[in-house]
Structure 1
Amino acid sequence: MHYQYTCQQQRALLRLHRTPHLSTRALSRLLKASEDPEMIFQLSAAQLHALKIPPAAQRALRQSGNQRLIDQDMATIDKLEVQLIALNSACYPELLKQISSPPPLLYVRGNINVLNQPQLAMVGSRNTTRQGCDNALRFSHEFARAGFTITSGLALGIDAQCHRGALAAKGSTLAVLGCGVDKVYPKSNRSLFNEMLNTDNSAVISEFALGTEPRPPLFPQRNRIISGMSLGVLVIEAALKSGSLITARYAMEQGREVFAIPGSIHNSSSNGTNTLIQQGAKLVLTAADVMEEFQGWLPRTAAAPELSDDGGLAELSSVEQQLLDLLGFDAVAIDLLQHQIAWPLAQLTGVLTTLELKGWVENKAGCYQRIVKTT
């Protein structure tokens, strides 16, 4: 469904969004009071008072606003093909309307229909392990194949891998930004940003005005949108202070399902996900663990293959299998490993290097650990 605003209605929405002293909640009340944003400026003082619009905001609404800035916004909208969706629009995401503080205005680039498709939020730390990135890529690929729109925040690490997994599956993905949709952050994800915009079934959105630069306080704020648009949130890998846990907390408050992939108790990158599981998040070992909760929402049914770590073991030599059996998923120093297996160092190093090249082992500063092999 697509609702096309006239040029004057777009200007009215932009003017409202940039009106000083007008809070998010107050703007939401105004939008709900009138289907036509232009008519909001015709409301009487009594009507504005009844809508609990503060005096300073009422005075600002009586003024013409910053027309030069609105002209700039309109030029950006035309150039970048930005679409506006107000809270009272038929295109506004239904699930997002249900949260306690839905954004009154969304800026959208890409396919607007993605916003009302069944979404699964996938989030995690920026500083992640190779295994975390592999899990993000593989799980998102399976969920996208099954019909979910993969929603995340375009951040480095887990977020970016989740978007990439969905795109690789030729599925749908949605990025919620902590800046204006005319900005790319982080800049190193520009190619990913552009790939999403060049894909028919993906989009990037923001509640922040055009030109808004990324700032630390904006990212926790946008996280409520990531969870609010989604049926559930899967945390792939997160430390205790990860912003992903903010998204999970919002999801719990919003009555959304929360899932987490467990990790080693010795790996600080998994402390956050393990804590979530302690607090009641559903432990996830395979894609099916998530999909079984939402079968009724999916537009088509797709079997989720088990993500196991034994596929391809038969291709390894007996020596490689022996070492791999000894290795766990916790990093271990090579001297301790040599003591356990009693091989000459040259042989041990050679086999470890071979396993690393084959995708079974990760070397982190001289410590080795087994990983789930990416197929």
Structure 2
Amino acid sequence: MEVHDNTPPRYYPSTALSLDELAYWIAFSRVSGIGPVSFKRLLDYFADDVESAWQADSKALHAARLNQHTIEQFLKQRPKIIPQQELERLERLRVWVITWRDESYPPLLKKIEYAPPVLYVCGNLTEDDRHYTLGIVGTRKMSTYGRQVTERFASELARSRITIVSGLALGVDTVAHTTALDVGGRTIAVLACGLDVIYPAVNHDLAKRIVESGQGALLTSFPLGVKPESGNFPARNHLISGLSQGILVTEAPPKSGALITATSALNQGREVFAVPGGIFSPGGAGVNKLIQDGAHPVTNVNDIVNNLNLFMLSQQVEAQVILPENAEEQKLLSLLSHEACHIDELIRESQLPANTVSAVLTMMELKGMIRQVGGMHYVLSET
């Protein structure tokens, strides 16, 4: 099944690559065995000349530090892949491509280990989608309680201009996407297959709605034609958490793909939130174990919004547009990191007046540049 987008995207900057270069990036993404690490080695060895890398012989590929098995697989698959035809096929289906080289590549995703070199997108992405995102995941076999919880969190977050990221699966994923759309919010569905294969098929209409509504996008790291094989889902989960500032698990049994996503989020330095479940409920066992292991227990949206410093999102967006950075902001930014720093230390190191530092920090927090983590300690925001 295919989802066609007949409207131009509201946010899709032109690619940093020429179309010829882009065709080879796409071609490499089709080669089984060449992932982010191998592709980075090729770019480094061939000085970003992807056409030369594509046409390289075995000796040059060895010199680029590809292992023998990868080289054999590449040389076997290469004759069947015609780069320009791959690009033309994507254009016919109105599937966009974002690469490592593009400014439109999601900044949160770019920070993670093994970020995909190529992303395939159908629909549109906005500036908010690049910065203000939360993943919502959970069980496919959802209870009434799980539905109620998911609807409440998804609706309130979406109304707050936070983009809901999920995996288009049945159950929690479906409710999260649908609720975001119903309240006029935005959502990104991450697939474990190519964008010409909607899985599960029963969610074809939901996928179509996400694209045609202009309220979101379908996104994947898998090229066209790739089927939703079981081995693809961990990579899909890795992408969901990588795109998100945090992950919310609303309901999940002990053995659930949602817990894999939560683990991936922790490995990526993301926040993990879990809604407590009943101790006798199968769907509560997984979320309760997450809480025991250190996930943030949440009972309302403010628990998430305050943790991620999103409580003044609309004001932050407006302030970023209206208020430019100044010398004082630049000075304090140079002193801040992701490790908490007390205001007294900032005053001492910056040699600025205390009242100036206090006022500038307040403005920087309003703009979403920094956040206070308690006791007048400040850190850089993740966005």
Q: Shared fold by TM > 0.5? A: yes
Shift of 1:263: 1.1
CA separation of 1:21/1:185 partners in 2, compared to 1, >3 Å: closer, same or farther?
closer
2:99 equivalent in structure 1: 86
Task: Give the CA deviation at 1:16.
Answer: 1.5
Mapped partners of 1:274, 1:64: distance in 2: 46
- From 40, 44, 55, the equivalent of 1:28 is 40
**CA–CA distance in 1 between the matches of 2:192 and 2:73?**
26
Cα drift, residue 68 of structure 1: 5.9
Secondary structure class of the residue paired with 1:164 = helix
Task: Specify every segment of 5 or more residues in structure 2 that has no aligned partner in the other structure, as ranges.
Answer: 1-11, 317-383
Structure 1 partner of 2:344: none
Amino acid at match of 2:114: S
- Correspondence for 1:118: 132
- 1:13 match: 25
Kindly state the Cα deviation for residue 221 of structure 1 after the two structures are TM-superposed.
2.0
Match of 1:54 in 2: 67
Q: How has the CA–CA distance of structure 1 residues 143 and 154 changed in structure 2, closer, same or farther, with 3 Å as cutoff?
A: same
Given that 1:295 and 1:301 are in contact with CA atoms closer than 8 Å, whether structure 2 keeps it comes out as no
* Residue 23 of structure 1, CA deviation: 3.7
- Structure 1 unaligned segments of length 5 or more: list them: 303-375
RMSD: 2.7
Q: Deviations over 1:72-91 (max 9, x none)?
A: 63343122211112223222
Size of the aligned set, in residue pairs, is 302
1:141 and 1:301 map into 2 onto residues whose CA distance is 20
Give 1:26 deviation, angstroms: 0.4
CA shift for structure 1 position 297: 8.5
**Range with greater deviation from structure 2 (239-248 or 89-98):** 89-98
Q: 2:49 & 2:213 partners in 1: Cα distance?
A: 32
Is the contact made by 1:118 and 1:298 (CA closer than 8 Å) also made in structure 2? no
Q: 2-side partners of 1:258 and 1:270: how far apart?
A: 16
Letter of the structure 2 residue corresponding to residue 13 of structure 1? W
1:35-83 per-position Cα deviation (integer Å, ceiling 9, x unaligned): 5643544779887556422356557777993456656633431222111
SS class of match (2:40)? helix
Equivalents in 2 of 1:7, 1:205: separation in Å?
20
Give the direction of change, closer, same or farther, for the CA distance of 1:140–1:64 in structure 2 (3 Å limit): closer
Match of 1:253 in 2: 267
- Per-residue CA distance 1:137-187 (angstroms, 9 max, x = gap): 221111111121100000000001100111112111101101111111111
Q: Which residue in 2 is equivalent to 1:282?
A: 296
State the alpha-carbon separation in 2 of the partners of residues 101 and 252 from structure 1.
15
**SS of equivalent to 2:229:** coil
Distance 1:191 1:235, change over 3 A: same
Structure 1 residues 195, 12: closer, same or farther in 2, change over 3 A?
same
Q: 1:3 aligned to 14, 19, 22, which one? A: 14
- Partner secondary structure for residue 264 of structure 2: helix
Show CA shifts across 1:249-303 (max 9, x none). Answer: 111111110000011101111100011111111111001110001225964159x
Match of 1:101 in 2: 114
Measured in 2, the distance between the counterparts of 1:38 and 1:157 equals 44
Q: Does 1:153 align with 2:167?
A: yes
Aligned pair in 2 of structure 1 residues 68, 103: CA closer, same or farther (>3 Å)?
A: closer
1:138 corresponds to? 152
The aligned counterpart of 1:128 is 142
Instruction: Tell me if structure 2 keeps the 8 A contact 1:31–1:87.
Output: no
Residue 193 (structure 1) aligned to one of 202, 207, 228: 207
Amino acid at match of 2:229: R
One-letter amino acid of the structure 2 residue matched with residue 94 of structure 1? P
Q: Scaled by the length of structure 1, what TM-score is found?
A: 0.73
Query: For residues 317-356 of structure 1, what are the structure 2 equivalents within 5 Å?
Result: none
Aligned-partner residue type, residue 2 of structure 1: P
Give me the whole-angstrom Cα distance separating, in 2, the residues matched to 1:239 and 1:110: 32
Letter aligned with residue 14 of structure 1: I
8 Å Cα contact 1:146-1:301 kept in structure 2? no
Greater alpha carbon shift after TM alignment, 156-165 vs 35-44: 35-44
Contact kept, 8 Å, 1:182 with 1:210, in 2: the verdict is yes
What is the one-letter code of the residue matched to 1:86?
Answer: T
- Opposite residue 38 of structure 1, the aligned amino acid is E
2:273 maps to 1:262:
no
Q: Are 1:272 and 2:286 matched, yes or no? A: yes
1:217-256 correspondence to structure 2 within 5 Å: 217-256=231-270
Q: Contact 1:32–1:88 (CA<8 Å) still a contact in 2?
A: no
The answer (yes or no) to whether the contact 2:137–2:250 under 8 Å persists in 1 is: yes
Aligned residue type for 2:89: T
| Distance across 2 between alignment mates of 1:241 and 1:138 | 24
Matched letter for residue 98 of structure 1: K
| Aligned equivalents of 1:207, 1:257: Cα separation in 2 | 23
Question: What's the counterpart of residue 341 of structure 2?
Answer: none
User: In structure 2, what is the equivalent of residue 313 of structure 1?
Assistant: none
- 1:184 aligns with one of 188, 195, 198: 198
**CA–CA distance in 1 between the matches of 2:163 and 2:85?**
32
